[in-house]
Structure 1
Amino acid sequence: MDRFTALTVFRHVVDLGGFAAAARQLGLSPAAVSKNVAELEAHLATRLLNRTTRRMSLTEAGASYYEQVVRILDDLKEADRSMGPMQGAPSGTVRVSAPMSFTLICLADAIPRFLARYPELSLDLQMEDRRIDIVKEGFDLAIRGSDRLEDSSLVARPVMTLHHVLCGAPAYFAEHGIPESPDDLRRLECVQFTLSGHATEWSFQRGGQTQRVPVRGRYKVNSSLALCSALRGGHGVSLVPEVYVRDDLARGALQAVLEDWEPVKTHVYAIYPSRRHMLAKVRAFVDFLVEELGSDAVAEFS
């Protein structure tokens, strides 16, 4: 069995909805198409297609296998294009995993510009806050607020720095007092973002001095959007990326405190598998991220 031919035949059978249509498209006989699919099923020891004289459909295993085959064939096509002496425009589908809050606040408005720039590219953007396995789950890249890599074959490219601000509702500070030093946070209700690397300890710097404060609170949450809602509602204080609360600060819904202390920063990275040799479609998206977000990598969001 020619594995590549069998995969190509299988994809065409599914895409075109039948063996005869696939045969015409590929210039093969219907018998050759049927043979390739049968040999592929024998190789996998799994039925991929349910077929009768009138109808054909994917099995559950076949549907899962089809999705992976499409990605593999598209990546091979893109790899061939990237090796050509005159590389064409990036094409195919870029599968990206990104945190929900970050994407909605910092990235979502830029996506139409990316798609307009690359008409041959499609974007499959999955917004989720869990830490995904890029290779196992078939993603081209992930956006993360950490350069900790679970696999040495992965690459982390910095695309942005999120500067944080300590803030809460003016009404909360009116009732509980404005902190004058990081130590004052020990007596305040601190809302903790559980997915951050500083969920239980906040770090502040001033004049070469670093002060770390263990924080506790009755509300722990894994959504920055929910955290900001709690702050606006008057429930405590928290360290939040400034860009997340910029409008709230401007209109007075939230108030920044300890502004003479510099809080922790979060560096945002594009994580991708080096084994893909930076396909053109991946490079296009990463370069776009740096272009759109990179100016904030050195700015203080002022």
Structure 2
Amino acid sequence: MRLPDLEAWAVFACVAEQGSFARAADVLHLSKPTVSKAVSRLEASLGTALLNRTSRQLSLTETGRRVLEHAHRLVSEAEAAEAVAREGTLRPAGVLRVAAPMTFGIQHLSPLLPEFLRLYPDIDLTIDFNDSVVDLVAEGYDVALRVSALADSSLKARKLCTVRRVLVATPDWISKSGGIAQPYDLARHKGFVYTNLSAPGTVRLKHAHQPEYVLSQNARLRANNAEAFLPTLYAGLGYGLFPEFMVWDGLKNGSLLPLLPEWQASSIAVYLVTPPTLLRPIRLTVFLDYLTHNFVKAPWATRRD
């Protein structure tokens, strides 16, 4: 497939309108040889002349007259496209495509959307709630929220806050457990295993004064979305390792208690990830700033690094 020479078509349309290579060069802020070469290049690619040239006169050929309207239409469409693009950079308008993890997105992103849409009535959102890691560039997303330990990549990432991961269970489960004083005490119990990880059920726990302990969980329930564990967790049928944003309210009201508080699993973080382009529309900038402002105030968030 050979793309049309849009620049040459625009130059031809201007020459035809001005009736002179010199006047077209002035209008386009190009040199006269550049204008002449563009028209000659177009004629060569078409295999026919578009202009009759003499030392004193310039006129359209029959082919030139037939294609001139199309040339003007090409220029008009390009000008309209540029106007739309510029409008999107001058005021927040247009569609944003967003990817977000299922549970985090529904619980913590969705409640922020009404105020954002009220603030920016000309922005529309398309959100894909999915725990899979999407390819932003290949799939055409403007931004993704990721809750993870972010791997190195060419994407741009803005860290919003750190998220602790905590071992939790209900008071009833703890009272029936026979005592959980050390990580190895969990080996005789079954819990919840999140499978959307490279090593499901393997939890590395660190202590200020003891060697690292690698806990291999026995699974009572396995799932690729941790929200599926919550009813069973609150029913007192197991323990689990959860990001704090999923269980902070239970910890606050006492329906959940931390297990082994002196042992810490590695933290994760909330990131806003965008494609590597240097330019971004203002609708994306205001969305990133809005989420940054709100997520750092979340009750489960710890300070940004």
Please report the TM-score for the alignment, with normalisation by the length of structure 1: 0.66
RMSD over aligned CA atoms reads: 3.1
Secondary structure of 2:141's counterpart equals coil
Secondary structure of 1:148's counterpart equals coil
Contact in 1 for aligned 2:167/2:242 (Cα 8 Å): yes
Contact in 1 for aligned 2:207/2:262 (Cα 8 Å): yes
Contact in 2 for aligned 1:78/1:280 (Cα 8 Å): no
Q: Distance in 1 between matches of 2:183 and 2:96?
A: 43
1:39-94 per-position Cα deviation (integer Å, ceiling 9, x unaligned): xxxxxxxxxxxxxxxxxxxxxxxxxxxxxxxxxx98x7675357xxxx63221111
Per the alignment, residue 211 of structure 1 pairs with 213
Whether 1:168 aligns to 2:172 is no
Q: Distance in 2 between matches of 1:185 and 1:99?
A: 29
Contact in 1 for aligned 2:168/2:242 (Cα 8 Å): yes
Contact in 1 for aligned 2:161/2:303 (Cα 8 Å): no
Question: In the TM superposition, what are the counterparts of 1:183-222 in structure 2 within 5 Å?
Answer: 183-196=184-197, 199-207=200-208, 209=210, 210-222=212-224
Secondary structure of 1:274's counterpart equals coil
Per the alignment, residue 247 of structure 2 pairs with 245
Letter paired with 1:175: K
How big is the shift at 1:232?
1.3
How big is the shift at 1:109?
1.0
Per the alignment, residue 292 of structure 1 pairs with 294
Contact in 1 for aligned 2:90/2:282 (Cα 8 Å): no
Secondary structure of 1:204's counterpart equals strand
Secondary structure of 2:161's counterpart equals strand
Structure 1: gaps spanning 5 or more residues: 5-30, 37-72
Q: Distance in 1 between matches of 2:203 and 2:84?
A: 45
How big is the shift at 1:263?
2.8
Q: Which structure is larger by alpha-carbon Rg, 1 or 2?
A: 2
Contact in 1 for aligned 2:202/2:216 (Cα 8 Å): yes
Percent of residue pairs identical:
28
Q: Distance in 2 between matches of 1:117 and 1:198?
A: 42
Aligned length: 230
Q: Distance in 2 between matches of 1:253 and 1:79?
A: 52
Contact in 2 for aligned 1:171/1:234 (Cα 8 Å): yes
Question: In the TM superposition, what are the counterparts of 1:265-284 in structure 2 within 5 Å?
Answer: 265-275=267-277, 277-284=279-286
Change (3 A) 1:2 1:216: farther
Contact in 2 for aligned 1:193/1:221 (Cα 8 Å): yes
How big is the shift at 1:176?
2.1
Letter paired with 2:302: V
Whether 1:148 aligns to 2:154 is no
Structure 2: gaps spanning 5 or more residues: 8-68, 75-79
How big is the shift at 1:213?
1.8
How big is the shift at 1:196?
4.3
Q: Distance in 2 between matches of 1:244 and 1:219?
A: 17
Per the alignment, residue 80 of structure 1 pairs with 86
Please report the TM-score for the alignment, with normalisation by the length of structure 2: 0.66
Contact in 2 for aligned 1:78/1:90 (Cα 8 Å): no
Secondary structure of 1:190's counterpart equals strand
Q: Distance in 2 between matches of 1:77 and 1:271?
A: 28
